Copies of this chain bind each other. A is one copy, B any other.
Amino acid sequence: MNERMGHQSIRFGEPVYIRSGASVAGKKEGEGPLGPCFDEIEKDPLAGEKTWEQAESALQHRAALRALDKAGIKNTDLRMIFAGDLLAQCTASAYNLAQLDVPVYGLFGACSTMGEALSLASMAVAGDFAEYAMALTSSHFASAEKEFRFPLAYGNQRPLSATWTVTGSGACVLSKVKSRAAVTGVTTGKIVDFGLKDSMNMGACMAPAACDTICTNLQDFGRQPEEYDRIITGDLGSVGQQILFDLLEKQGYDIKRQHLDCGMLIFDDAVQDTHAGGSGCGCSAVVFASYILPRIISGEWKRILFVPTGALMSKVSFAEGQTVPGIAQAVVVEHMEEKD
Chain B residues near A76: list those with CB within 8 A. 7
Contact between B95 and A108 (Cβ–Cβ < 8 Å)? Answer: no
Contact between A327 and B104 (Cβ–Cβ < 8 Å)? Answer: yes
Contact between A98 and B129 (Cβ–Cβ < 8 Å)? Answer: no
Chain B CB count within 10 A is highest, among A98, A130, A192, for A98
Given contacts A51-B320, A327-B104, contact A87 B189 (CB under 8 A): no
Against B, the Cβ 8 Å flags (1 = close, 0 = not) of A120-162 are: 1001101111110000000000000011000000000000000
Q: Which of B88, B103, B105, B116 contacts A314 (CB 8 A)?
A: B88
**Chain B proximity of A114: nearest CB distance (Å):** 13
Contact between B88 and A316 (Cβ–Cβ < 8 Å)? Answer: yes
Interface assignment of A215: CB less than 8 Å from any CB of chain B: no
Chain B residues near A110: list those with CB within 8 A. 89
Given contacts A313-B91, A317-B91, contact A2 B128 (CB under 8 A): yes
The number of chain A residues with a CB under 8 A from chain B is 65
How many copies of this chain does the complex contain?
2
Q: List 7 other contacts, CB 8 Å, given A86-B89, A89-B108, A95-B325.
A: A4-B79, A7-B103, A88-B316, A89-B313, A89-B314, A98-B192, A146-B316
**Chain B proximity of A165: nearest CB distance (Å):** 14
Chain B residues near A314: list those with CB within 8 A. 87-89, 91
Contact between A190 and B103 (Cβ–Cβ < 8 Å)? Answer: yes
9 contacts between A and B (CB under 8 A): A4-B130, A50-B320, A80-B188, A86-B89, A88-B314, A89-B313, A91-B312, A104-B191, A127-B127
Within A45-87, the residues touching B (CB, 8 Å) are: 50-51, 53-54, 76, 79-80, 84, 86-87
Chain B CB count within 10 A is highest, among A3, A79, A108, A325, for A108
Interface assignment of A119: CB less than 8 Å from any CB of chain B: yes
Chain B residues near A218: list those with CB within 8 A. none
Contact between B90 and A108 (Cβ–Cβ < 8 Å)? Answer: yes
Chain B residues near A116: list those with CB within 8 A. 105-106
Chain B residues near A297: list those with CB within 8 A. none
Chain B CB count within 10 A is highest, among A106, A128, A188, A327, for A106
Q: How far is the CA of A147 from the CA of B116 in the complex (A)?
A: 25
Q: Which of B86, B91, B147, B322 contacts A95 (CB 8 A)?
A: B322
Contact between A188 and B79 (Cβ–Cβ < 8 Å)? Answer: yes
Q: How far is the CA of A88 from the CA of B8 in the complex (A)?
A: 27
Contact between B189 and A53 (Cβ–Cβ < 8 Å)? Answer: no
Contact between B131 and A127 (Cβ–Cβ < 8 Å)? Answer: no
Q: Which of B53, B79, B95, B107 contacts A8 (CB 8 A)?
A: B79
Chain B CB count within 10 A is highest, among A102, A315, A316, A322, for A316
Contact between B91 and A88 (Cβ–Cβ < 8 Å)? Answer: no
Contact between B104 and A107 (Cβ–Cβ < 8 Å)? Answer: no
Q: How far is the CA of A167 from the CA of B95 in the complex (A)?
A: 28
**Chain B proximity of A57: nearest CB distance (Å):** 10
Within A286-328, the residues touching B (CB, 8 Å) are: 312-317, 320, 322, 325, 327
Contact between A105 and B104 (Cβ–Cβ < 8 Å)? Answer: no
Q: How far is the CA of A101 from the CA of B88 in the complex (A)?
A: 25
**Chain B proximity of A86: nearest CB distance (Å):** 8
Interface assignment of A10: CB less than 8 Å from any CB of chain B: yes
